[in-house]
Amino acid sequence: MIDRGLRFAGAALVVLIAVWAGARIHSTWVARGSGGGIATPVGEASPPTRSDLVDQLARPPLAQIPDQLPEFSLAALDGKLTSISDWRGKSLVINFWATWCAPCRREIPLLEGLSEEWANRGVTVIGIAVDHRDQVAAFARELKISYPLLIGEQEALDVAARFGVDSPVFPFTVFTDRRGDIVALYVGELRKPQADLILSTVQDLDQNHIALQQARRVIADGLHSLPAANPESNPHNS
């Protein structure tokens, strides 16, 4: 069971992963920052120590990122089992989060903005909450979350593992093109410059201006060149 009281005080490691070219071969690189994610050990009765968290975050939590969006179904806010294939033909921003995760909560206004800004360009934002449905529902009402939410506890962790994230660090966000190719996976708190870079590249890919391998390389190089996020800045504008 996930400990919802887990908090990570102090600097955390942001891992930026872009999927590179090659048949099921992915290049990864690691950058340090201050908008990092929270490690989520499964099945532990108490929160890990600070040193445990640092040790987990010091290693990329990814196993094998799939080339294509895997098929899965999770419950929606109304409890109805919903398949990710319901959004087939859309470019997706799939954000894994939890109500008890501070960086996740900070991301929500940004995700709302992305949902509005990119909706008319074939992009859909979907939140996957690794949490209890009643807590997510209350939180969604309070923050007036308008983009679709899928919810699960162990089921959502199982879905995270299908993206290669076997030891979840929240939040993390998967970006796909309209064909269902996984273009990039970003671990840590998403910021506006990073989101705009990735989505603009996905748009070029959707419009056949560039190839998938080139898009992955553009994203990896672009993320590497962006300045580190300022921990005191607004996630919308940092």
Report whether 32 contacts 58 (CB < 8 A): no
Q: Which residue has the tokens 């099945």?
A: 43
Using CA atoms, how far apart are residues 145 and 134, in angstroms rounded to an integer?
A: 15
Using CA atoms, how far apart are residues 38 and 97, in angstroms rounded to an integer?
A: 10
Q: Say if residue 234's pLDDT is above 50.
A: no
Q: Give the amino acid at 142.
A: E
**Residue-wise pLDDT tens digits, 42-73:** 322 222 233 323 333 334 455 688 999 999 99
pLDDT: is 13 or 193 the higher one? 193
Cα three-residue angle 155-156-159, rounded to 5 degrees: 95
pLDDT: is 24 or 142 the higher one? 142
Its pTM stands at 0.75
pLDDT at res. 227: 76
User: Which residue stretches of the chain are H helix?
Assistant: 50-57, 102-118, 133-143, 154-162, 192-206, 212-225
DSSP 79: S
Report whether 4 contacts 29 (CB < 8 A): no
Mean pLDDT throughout 111-129? 97
In the chain, DSSP finds a helix count (H) and a strand count (E) of 6, 10
Q: Say if residue 183's pLDDT is above 90.
A: yes
Rounded to the nearest 5 percent, the helix, strand and coil shares of the chain are 35, 20, 45
Enumerate the domain spans of the chain: 15-225
Question: Among the listed ranges 58-67, 146-155, 158-167, 177-186, which one has the minimum average pLDDT value?
Answer: 58-67
pLDDT at res. 124: 98
Q: Say if residue 141's pLDDT is above 80.
A: yes
Architecture of domain 15-225: 3-Layer(aba) Sandwich (3.40)
Report whether 69 contacts 143 (CB < 8 A): no
Q: Say if residue 127's pLDDT is above 50.
A: yes
Report whether 172 contacts 218 (CB < 8 A): no
> Which has the closest alpha carbon to 167: 35, 38, 68, 11?
38
| 75's tokens | 């419950």
Q: Say if residue 26's pLDDT is above 80.
A: no
Mean pLDDT throughout 94-121? 96
**Residue-wise pLDDT tens digits, 206-223:** 999 999 999 999 999 999
